[in-house]
Amino acid sequence: MDLLPAETSSEIVKKHRFRSLKMVDLNYEQLLSDVPYGADYGTLDNGLSYYVRLNSKPKMRAALALAVKVGSVLEEEEERGVAHIVEHLAFSATKKYTNHDIVKFLESIGAEFGACQNAVTSADETVYELFVPVDKPELLSQAISVLAEFSSEIRVSAEDLEKERGAVMEEYRANRNANGRMQDAHWLLMMEGSKYADRLPIGLEKVIRTVSPEIVKRFYTKWYNLQNMAVIAVGDFSDTKSVVDLIKTHFGSKVSATDYVDIPRFLVPSHEEPRISCFVESEAAGSAVMISCKSPVIELRTVKDYRDLLVEAMFYNAMNQRFFKISRKKDPPYFSCSVAADVVVQPIKAYIMTSSCKEKGTLIALESMLTEIARVRLHGFSEREISVARATMMSEIESAYLERDQVQSTSLREEYLHHFLRKEPVVGIEYEAQLQKTILPHISASEVSKYSENFRTTHSCVIKAIEPRAAATVDNLKTVVLKINSLEDDGIISPWDEDHIPEEIVTIKPNPGVVQESEYSNIGATELILSNGMRVCYKCTDFLEDQVLFTGYAYGGLSELPESEYISCSMGSTIAGEIGIFGYRPSMLLDMLAGKRAEIGTKLGAYMRTFYGDCSPTDLETALQLVYQLFATEVVPGEEDIKIVMQMSEESINAQERDPYTVFANRVRELNYGNSYFFRPTRISDLRKVDPFKACEYFNKCFKDPSTFTVVIVGNIEPTIARPLILQYLGGIPRPSEPILKYNRDDLKGLPFTFPTTIIREVVRSPMVEAQCSVQLCFPVELKNEKMMEDVHFVGFLSKLIEAKIIQVLRFKHGQIYSAGVSVFLGGNKPSRVGNARGDISVNFSCDPDVALALVDLSLDEILRLQEEGPSDADISTVLEIEQRAHENGLQENYWWLDRILHSYQSRIYSGDVGSSFTIQDDSRSDVRKMLTPSTARQALEKILPFPCKKQYTVVILMPQDSRFQLLMSMVTNAKVQFGCAGLIVLAFCIWRYSRTSSK
């Protein structure tokens, strides 16, 4: 049904923009421009490259970077880890900035500093990134001066190094978890025979703990040459020339400490025989198979190279669709499988296949993965598969083209980084759209199929099976490889069998519902009340040309259920989702939605049930059809559906129980929220009690009565198009004759949870392969009903204040952590409009197990100091600035508006007027900002947290479980235990003497 209005509609015009985009005359030998599109690009006399581009997304912000072609592969043996240490030292002290002044500056202007936010070190490069406001001229100048300091003025003193060792060690320790160990093992296998194999960026523990300032300084001065660097600035500038002038001002006088040294190129040797490994990781999240085939990087230089890249992308698209369909068949060989490619190090590109499978299922998974690739080599892809892949890619480039003037500055910064570091051309989205529109229709199935050659096991292939307990052997894996190679050689692998795909999502169009309408001009929103009782609020924005977001919610969730039904019904979304909640199986729906951008999900929560979606404006009809189908579909589980879901769930639970962190997280929940069934972890024994029919029956009821739902839609919608679609597909949802799961928000059952009234300090010990330590310090929070709006905002500000001060003390003063987080939990409260709200504020960090208790005491001391003395004016200024910058960014985002309008409906003060509710909340935020001073912050900390904070809190510390030998040694060295043992020995001797006397 064509519901598009006349030709004057802006949606038609937008769509037409891409459809009328001129194709290009193809000359495959034509060179792609090596001058980056859109940038003021050049080189200073000292060798520094620069890129400057105007971009107003987001407004009054700039994304800056200093790219350095220096990574861990350049380290000598005694320097292993030094490239990463230099990155850390940059934020500690330079010639101009000392004592973490750079961090203080970033926070003072609202540019947050945190783990992995501001810099990254890899094997080949180091990149420093800043995201700063530019509404004041001096801010951009100072930010560029910081990058200039990094280029040649990083201070490397013994004191600086000692301060930073703890943070680097904590990052090292955090990397030594199950994922880190598995990644490192795969890296070593892939890079074997190359220097890369022994140059993981994190380095060696011995080097981190003992490397001298002289060695660090030598590495820095040798390799940090301006000819190896580029500064990138993308942002909402008035012009590029003034920014280039700032770069020249701050970088122009810089001189490299040593003469330029050519950066050596390290090769990774190829090999015909596959390298096969079985990696047993007791803490692994599950069993998996990884296949990586290495190939030299081919530089993207010509239009033909670009065409080859499109063919390759089409291969991944078609292959992943096939893998997904296999994962949803009867007795699937794996739960998920995907294929991709990545430039892992400068000279090497890896073609990667990964799958996750059931325990002891790695051999079956490997056989299926290799078989499918061999099937493509023998029979190719079908025309339908290629058509689906082509439609998907065309949809993606159309979306990118429509939003070409709304790209985030951080994304454009990334393009210029790749141009400098990897010589990737930046040709502009307009030209890319023209190329793809011209090339994609002419790519054949046979061309795409040929890319399967890159996955031959003779193509420098590395195969690794990961298992929590040893099941497969290397010989087993080799046998599978030989078997599939033999089947392929004999040509006895059958062609792919395709399913029939329906053309229409909704076969019989519903009749539109009638409507009542209200306008809320203060938020630019329109509210419709449909004849079936559903309330719909939509807001038109122009933040992104190709984005529409929506969420629908209804009160009444899992808290209403008796404990006996909770486990079954809580799995309703999972079980129904695997079967198909829109009337079609997920694998079939994948093909039906080819070329469309419409995604819908569901969630069953404690007090609400929700559906949510993201679509292109041109696919809004499809998205709303899916919502209609969600309410119209009766999900009925089949035997095979149940088997697959239960198998996946069981594997997930087993994986959680292998993770040392699970014991810790479970104990935190148990202490802070009691042993309520809602907060209790799901065990295998619980899973076996699940009734899939009860789960699906409950899910069907949750999305049956439209009169219980409020839907908020935000994005680039044209009301003349969207309104008829809303009336037809949302208004057309039939209302049941009797209400289903219709609840008053004030009458919902609250979750039973209570915070301990005393101090509890516990150490939870768990078996670990390598020592890890996590800490959670938690305080109860109670917000009074009469001051709820105000206190909610105070809690947000105070949590950010506590986080900043904890990081200052534990990282910058004592150098013992890498990062810390402070979170607020108020989600246990029912959404009633009356009564107080309870929750907690928690401080989380990881650290060396030996200093955990001392760091807890330091944290308590700092929070108590804030309660007694209050923060400084600078602290308050920083918190206000960070919040204001986040608020300004949010005003330009659809997600932010969607969340704010939803909160306005769900607010305690909502009484039918969403505009008024929004205004009251916004005014409350402004009032709290005006009120926030060191004195009011101190008073709020006293009121909202226990005062003094040391009188009521819980702290749980995850520690490694001692080995039997350590336990024995601790008994031997413990005086009380020694005394007890001595007493036992004396008693035993007396009994022996008595028995000897009796026998005589």
| Distance in angstroms (rounded) separating the CA atoms of residues 131 and 129 | 7
Structure tokens at 809: 């003390």
Strand extents, DSSP E, 114-165: 119-121, 126-133
Do the beta carbons of residue 421 and residue 297 sit within 8 Å?
no
Q: Angle, to 10 degrees, between the axis of helix 82-92 and the axis of helix 101-108?
A: 60
| Distance in angstroms (rounded) separating the CA atoms of residues 231 and 222 | 19
Helix (H) or strand (E) holding 551: strand 548-555
Torsion of CA 608, 614, 618, 620, to 10 degrees: -10
Q: What phi and psi, each to the nearest 5 degrees, are found at residue 22?
A: -70, 140
User: What is each CA distance from 128 to 230, 512, 759, in whole angstroms?
Assistant: 11, 55, 43
Torsion of CA 281, 283, 286, 291, to 10 degrees: -40
In terms of C-beta density within 10 A (0-12 exposed, 13-18 middle, 19 or more buried), how is residue 422 classed?
middle
| Distance in angstroms (rounded) separating the CA atoms of residues 957 and 664 | 7
Q: Angle, to 10 degrees, between the axis of helix 852-869 and the axis of helix 788-807?
A: 130
Torsion of CA 895, 899, 904, 907, to 10 degrees: -170
For residue 72, the SS3 value is helix
Torsion of CA 4, 7, 12, 16, to 10 degrees: 140
Helix (H) or strand (E) holding 506: none
Name the active-site residue from 11, 75, 107, 164: 164
Partners of residue 43 on adjacent β-strands: 49
Name the maximum alpha-carbon separation found in the chain: 117
Do the beta carbons of residue 927 and residue 794 sit within 8 Å?
no
Q: Determine whether 87 is an active site residue.
A: yes
| Distance in angstroms (rounded) separating the CA atoms of residues 167 and 161 | 10
The 3-class SS string of 283-333 reads CCCCEEEEEEEEEECCCCCEHHHHHHHHHHHHHHHHHHHHHHHHHCCCCCC
Do the beta carbons of residue 617 and residue 548 sit within 8 Å?
yes
Q: Which residue's structure tokens are 């589980």?
A: 637
How far from each other are the two terminal CA atoms of the chain, in whole angstroms?
A: 108
Q: Determine whether 385 is an active site residue.
A: no
| Distance in angstroms (rounded) separating the CA atoms of residues 977 and 979 | 5
For residue 206, the SS3 value is helix
Q: What number of residues does the chain have?
A: 1000
User: What is each CA distance from 391 to 19, 101, 595, 606, in whole angstroms?
Assistant: 14, 51, 4, 39
Do the beta carbons of residue 559 and residue 569 sit within 8 Å?
no
Do the beta carbons of residue 882 and residue 112 sit within 8 Å?
yes
Do the beta carbons of residue 774 and residue 661 sit within 8 Å?
yes
Residue type, 93: A
User: What is each CA distance from 459 to 197, 271, 456, in whole angstroms?
Assistant: 19, 7, 5
Name the active-site residue from 75, 79, 87, 283: 87
* CB proximity list for 607: less than 8 A, separation 6 or greater: 555, 556, 557, 559, 748, 830, 831
User: What is each CA distance from 99 to 155, 220, 749, in whole angstroms?
Assistant: 11, 20, 52
* CB proximity list for 876: less than 8 A, separation 6 or greater: 801, 932, 933, 934, 937
List active site positions. Answer: 87, 164
